[in-house]
Amino acid sequence: MSQSGTQPAPSGPSLLHDPVFNRGSAFSSEDRARLGLEGFLPPTADTLETQVARIHLQLSILDNDLQKYLLLSDLQARNETLFYAVLMSDPAVFMPLVYTPTVGEACQKYDHVLRATRGMYLPITMKGRLKEVMSHWPQRDVRFIVVTDGERILGLGDLGVNGMGIPVGKLALYSVCAGVPPEMTLPITLDVGTNNGTLLDDPLYLGLRQNRVRGAEYDAFIAEFVAAVTELFPLCCLQWEDFANINAVPILERYRDQICTYNDDIQGTAAVAVAGIYGALKLSGEKLTDQTFLFLGGGSAATGIAELISQAMVLEGATIEEARARNWLFDVNGLMVNSRTDIAGFQKPFAHDHAPVSSFVEAIEAIRPTGIVGVSTVPKLFNQAVIEAMATINARPIIFPYSNPTSRSECTAEEAYRWSNGQAIFASGSPFPPVEFGGKRFVPGQGNNVYIFPAMGMAVLATQSTRVTEDMFIVAAKAVAEQVTPDDLALGLIYPPQRDIRKASLHVAARIAELIFDKGLARVPRPADIEAHINELAYIPRYPTI
């Protein structure tokens, strides 16, 4: 068990195997004498800073990112304080290792590279016993659960229980980016089987060896899980992550008005996209209500973004019908037009009257969007013809290939800048390095819900909010965008720089918290200074007193 925050600290050498209390070489000589550790450690006592420098060195001699991921994962299992100190020493360097893109490769190989386990695995074979099993978790005050059933892990598809890397990585970023105390977080994977034949045939696969359970039995399992969470952890916010849209959409609809919950792929992604659009409009000088968006993909992320853009347009004077009419979806079967018979209920608001169009470039020529958003899971579909078409129609085309990980990105930053002759306003789901083009340096932004979910978490923690509402995501989007400086914009950067993500997230958290208090959703009194209150709550990696 790797998270033991409510347990009394062990003593003697077993302390060195408790990730919460372990300080490794940083135990002072006095503490070593007091705690029965003399003789178990090399004689010189380190500082946390020296330990961080040692991990930097260890990482620098590894030549591939999966190895670095594993080193950091082992560190998290051994010494949590040092793990967070390392990640927070340079978030821009470490986020791509514990999160997208590397976490994608780690999930694909999770059963092969497994070391210490983390979080809870709840197979459907435990149906009827979920509360009892979850009550074994040692922490009583769990405030955030990120839960997946592994069916749509990034753009990599059904990875079964191997998807656990996602809840683990997202929750680490709650702490790194917005200071949510790690002991309040719990990653969970629900195992309802997998339809991934390669995994089912792999002797090393660790999940249930059966196809996915669907329908009433699945829904009952989810209902039992939600009931267990609310009974065991009454202040917990439940974040649904990387479910396939057939489950993600109805689960959110079922629970959003009942408990404190949200779906990051639908709502968090929507907020980061709207933030990016606000940033882009600062560059182009245009109005939101004059924009038209064409999405490649018509799933959870596309419909979530399209709806929040529509809500944001309504705030600027459009009717909801006018706003939705400016958001178009294009999926495997072409442009979503009303005459199609395969359109799901959640896609209907964005299916419009138009003749069928089967090529994306032709759809661009017909719709004349000001921005395209790639949430298709398919790499390279923003090809040269697509980018050139956008650059012909728009002086500053918005190009957002949002699919993760990098191997699924609809285009690279370099391609977008080159094919648009430097006109593109670009952001991608996974990070790309700066690009030199036409004598200019462009710094691509990362349009990723990591700018939203940690901040949402801190806002909920600071207020004990009863709900997560749609307007909280609009406020979050504005709070991200308002931090983009003229210097950032001059580089083409439409999100706050990642090196400053903690500062940015705490600001976003304060803005969301204000709204929570204004709307009467908080369960704690309103502090005089919300930003200061949030800063006081924010976790800082320091060795706990023993």
Ligand X SMILES: NC(=O)C1=CN([C@@H]2O[C@H](COP(=O)(O)OP(=O)(O)OC[C@H]3O[C@@H](n4cnc5c(N)ncnc54)[C@H](OP(=O)(O)O)[C@@H]3O)[C@@H](O)[C@H]2O)C=CC1
The answer to whether 242 contacts ligand CC(=O)C(=O)O (rule: CB under 6 A) is yes
The answer to whether 264 contacts ligand CC(=O)C(=O)O (rule: CB under 6 A) is yes
Own/partner pairs, 16-25, CB within 8 angstroms, 24+ separation:
16/40, 16/41, 17/78, 19/76, 19/77, 19/78, 19/79, 19/80, 20/80, 20/183, 20/544, 21/544, 21/546, 22/78, 22/79, 23/79, 23/81, 23/543, 24/51, 24/78, 24/79, 24/82, 25/51
The answer to whether 149 contacts ligand CC(=O)C(=O)O (rule: CB under 6 A) is no
Q: Which does 302 bind (CB under 5 to 8 A by kind): ligand X, ligand CC(=O)C(=O)O, Mg ion, none?
A: ligand X
For CA atoms 516, 481, 398, 445, give the dihedral sign.
negative
- The nearer residue to ligand X, 130 or 154, going by C-beta atoms, is 154
Question: Is-catalytic flag, 127?
Answer: no
Q: Which does 408 bind (CB under 5 to 8 A by kind): ligand CC(=O)C(=O)O, Mg ion, ligand X, none?
A: ligand X
Single out the catalytic residue among 69, 84, 99, 255: 99
| Cβ-proximal residues to 327 (8 Å cutoff; 6+ apart), any chain | 292, 293, 295, 306, 309, 310, 350
* SS3 (DSSP) at 294: strand
Max intra-chain CA distance, the chain: 79
> From the CB of 144, what's the least distance to ligand CC(=O)C(=O)O, in Å?
15
| Cβ-proximal residues to 465 (8 Å cutoff; 6+ apart), any chain | 237, 260, 459, 516, 521, 522, 523
> From the CB of 172, what's the least distance to Mg ion, in Å?
14
Cα 114–chain centre separation: 22
Binding mask 215-244 for Mg ion (x = CB under 5 A): ---------------------------x--
Q: Decide: residue 202, CB within 10 A, 0-12 exposed, 13-18 middle, 19+ buried.
A: middle
Tokens representing 154 are: 């990034």
> From the CB of 75, what's the least distance to ligand X, in Å?
26
> From the CB of 54, what's the least distance to ligand X, in Å?
33
The answer to whether 448 contacts ligand CC(=O)C(=O)O (rule: CB under 6 A) is yes
CB atoms under 10 Å from CB of 320, counted, come to 13
Q: What is the DSSP string of 186-205?
A: EEEEEE-----HHHHH-TT-
Radius of gyration for the alpha carbons in the chain, expressed in angstroms and rounded: 23
> Which residues contribute to the site for ligand X (CB under 6 A)?
152, 154-155, 245, 265, 269, 272, 296-302, 331-332, 375-378, 402-404, 408, 429, 447-449
- The nearer residue to ligand X, 363 or 513, going by C-beta atoms, is 363
Which among 263, 274, 297, 295 has a CA at the least distance from the CA of 377? 297
The residue nearest ligand CC(=O)C(=O)O at its CB is: 404
* SS3 (DSSP) at 327: strand
> From the CB of 241, what's the least distance to ligand X, in Å?
9
Cα-Cα end-to-end distance for the chain = 19
> From the CB of 94, what's the least distance to ligand X, in Å?
18
Tokens 């369960």, residue located: 523
* Number of residues counted as binding Mg ion (CB under 5 A): 2
The answer to whether 265 contacts Mg ion (rule: CB under 5 A) is yes
Question: Is-catalytic flag, 99?
Answer: yes
The answer to whether 158 contacts Mg ion (rule: CB under 5 A) is no
- The nearer residue to ligand CC(=O)C(=O)O, 105 or 242, going by C-beta atoms, is 242
Single out the catalytic residue among 69, 170, 417, 478: 170
Please tell me the distance from the alpha carbon of residue 55 to that of residue 368, in angstroms, as a whole number.
Answer: 50
Angle at CA of residue 430, ends 365 and 336, nearest 5°: 30
> From the CB of 218, what's the least distance to ligand X, in Å?
17
Report the site for ligand CC(=O)C(=O)O in 398-417 (rule: CB under 6 A): 404
| Cβ-proximal residues to 210 (8 Å cutoff; 6+ apart), any chain | 193
> From the CB of 453, what's the least distance to ligand CC(=O)C(=O)O, in Å?
8
The answer to whether 151 contacts Mg ion (rule: CB under 5 A) is no
Binding mask 90-129 for ligand CC(=O)C(=O)O (x = CB under 6 A): ----------x-----------------------------
* SS3 (DSSP) at 148: strand
> From the CB of 401, what's the least distance to Mg ion, in Å?
16
- The nearer residue to ligand CC(=O)C(=O)O, 130 or 248, going by C-beta atoms, is 248
Please tell me the number of Cα atoms within 13 Å of 198 on its side-chain side.
8
The answer to whether 151 contacts ligand CC(=O)C(=O)O (rule: CB under 6 A) is no
Number of residues in the chain: 546
The answer to whether 154 contacts ligand CC(=O)C(=O)O (rule: CB under 6 A) is yes
Is residue 501 a contact partner of residue 177, using CB atoms and an 8 Å limit? yes
Please state the φ and ψ torsions of residue 66, each to the nearest 5 degrees.
-65, -40
- The nearer residue to ligand CC(=O)C(=O)O, 154 or 424, going by C-beta atoms, is 154
User: Which amino acids are annotated catalytic?
Assistant: 99, 170
Residues that bind ligand CC(=O)C(=O)O (CB under 6 A): 100, 154, 242, 264-265, 404, 429, 448-449
Residues that bind Mg ion (CB under 5 A): 242, 265
